[in-house]
C-alpha cells in the first residue's frame, strides 16, 4: 500500500509543481488621482504616480474616450486641478532632484456642449525669487473672483522638517500674475476655496489617526487663527471644499475603512482639541471611486465617480 501511495504521489508531482509557480510581484507604484466633472457630465482625472522607475513616474490628465495628456515624466510631481471661469487650471510642482522645485500651471479650455472637447494648454512657469533647493509635497488651488490662487508646498532639501508654502495668483486664462510669494503656512494643505474675504484651507493633521483641520487666510495668505479640528480622528483623503450661500462645506473620503463620502460644515473655524459635530454620510465611496463636485448647485454637491 505504501509503495502504491508513493507511486501515486510521484505521478502527481509535475502537475502540482506546474500549478504552484510563483509570479513576480508587480513593481511598487504610489498613485494619487483627483477628479473633475466636465460641462457635459463626463469625468476627467488628474493622475500622479511615484514608481521605482523614472518612466512610470510623473503626471497625466485623463480625459473621456481614452484620451491621455502627458503632463510630466521622469521625476516626482505634486499636482491638482480645479474648475473656474469656464475652464480648468492644472497646477504642478516638479521635483528637480535636490535643486529648486519647478512650479507651473496649465489652462484647460472646454469647447462644445455634450461630447465637447477639452484642450490642455502649454505649461507656464510660475517664478519665485531665489528659490531654495527643496522637494515638492503638495499643491492646492481655488478659483477666485478674478482668476485662480495656487498654493505650492515643498520641504527644504537641507532640513526636511521645514515646510514652505508659496501663493501664486493666476489669471482666468492660466497666465501667472507675477512671482509666487512665500506665506506663513507650515501645514500640509489638502484643498482650498475662496471664502469671499480670503481663503479657507483644508489641512490633514496626523495624530491619533488623521483629522481634517481648517484654517482661514486673508488675501495676502496670512493665517487668521490656529487650525481647528474639523473631523473625528480616522481616515481623511480626497478633500474638496465648496463655498455657496455663505457656507463652506468639506467633502472627503472617510469612515472606519475609508468607504464613505462624508460632508462637514466648516464655515466656522472652531478650536484646536475640541471634537467637532459628526460628519454627514453622503454616500458609499468604493476604493476605485473618486469624489467630484457637480457644477450644478441644485442637487447633491458631491458624488462618487469612477
pLDDT in tens, 217-256: 999 999 999 999 999 999 999 999 999 999 999 999 999 9
List of the chain residues with pLDDT < 50: 1-16
pLDDT at 10: 40
Residues near 135 by beta carbon (within 8 Å), at least 6 away in sequence = 76, 95, 98, 101, 154, 155, 157, 160
Phi, psi of 151 (to 5 degrees): -110, 110
Residue with cell string 531654495: 132
pLDDT at 18: 52
Whole-angstrom distance, CA of residue 28 vs CA of residue 8: 42
Phi, psi of 57 (to 5 degrees): -100, 135
Kind plus residue range of the DSSP H or E element containing 18: helix 2-19
pLDDT at 298: 73
pLDDT at 98: 87
- Domain boundaries in the chain? 28-183
| Nearest C-alpha neighbor of 81 from the set 30, 46, 43 | 46
Whole-angstrom distance, CA of residue 133 vs CA of residue 97: 9
Whole-angstrom distance, CA of residue 209 vs CA of residue 153: 22
pLDDT at 12: 45
Rounded to two decimals, the pTM is: 0.92
Q: Are 282 and 302 in contact (CB under 8 A)?
A: yes
Amino acid at each position: 500500500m505504501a509503495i502504491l501511495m508513493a507511486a501515486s504521489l510521484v505521478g502527481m508531482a509535475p502537475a502540482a509543481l506546474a500549478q504552484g509557480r510563483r509570479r513576480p510581484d508587480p513593481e511598487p507604484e504610489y498613485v494619487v488621482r483627483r477628479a473633475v466633472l466636465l460641462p457635459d457630465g463626463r469625468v476627467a482625472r488628474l493622475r500622479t504616480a511615484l514608481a521605482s522607475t523614472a518612466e512610470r513616474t510623473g503626471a497625466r490628465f485623463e480625459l473621456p474616450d481614452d484620451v491621455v495628456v502627458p503632463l510630466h515624466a521622469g521625476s516626482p510631481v505634486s499636482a491638482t486641478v480645479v474648475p473656474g471661469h469656464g475652464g480648468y487650471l492644472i497646477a504642478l510642482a516638479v521635483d528637480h532632484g535636490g535643486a529648486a522645485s519647478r512650479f507651473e500651471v496649465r489652462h484647460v479650455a472646454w469647447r462644445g456642449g455634450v461630447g465637447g472637447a477639452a484642450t490642455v494648454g502649454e505649461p507656464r512657469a510660475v517664478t519665485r525669487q531665489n528659490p531654495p533647493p527643496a522637494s515638492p509635497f503638495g499643491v492646492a488651488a481655488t478659483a477666485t473672483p478674478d482668476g485662480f490662487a495656487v498654493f505650492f508646498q515643498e520641504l527644504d532639501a537641507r532640513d526636511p522638517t521645514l515646510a514652505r508654502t508659496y501663493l501664486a495668483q493666476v489669471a482666468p486664462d492660466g497666465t501667472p500674475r507675477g512671482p509666487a510669494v512665500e506665506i506663513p503656512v507650515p501645514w500640509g494643505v489638502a484643498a482650498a476655496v475662496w471664502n469671499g474675504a480670503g481663503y479657507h484651507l483644508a489641512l490633514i493633521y496626523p495624530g491619533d489617526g488623521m483629522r481634517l483641520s481648517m484654517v482661514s487666510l486673508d488675501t495676502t495668505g496670512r493665517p487668521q487663527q490656529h487650525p481647528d479640528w474639523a473631523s473625528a480622528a480616522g481616515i481623511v483623503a480626497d478633500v474638496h471644499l465648496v463655498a455657496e450661500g455663505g457656507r463652506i462645506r468639506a467633502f472627503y473620503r472617510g469612515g472606519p475603512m475609508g468607504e464613505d463620502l462624508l460632508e462637514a460644515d466648516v464655515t466656522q473655524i472652531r478650536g484646536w482639541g475640541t471634537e467637532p459635530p459628526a460628519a454627514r454620510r453622503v454616500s458609499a465611496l468604493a476604493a476605485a471611486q473618486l469624489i467630484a463636485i457637480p457644477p450644478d448647485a441644485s442637487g447633491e454637491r458631491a458624488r462618487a465617480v469612477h
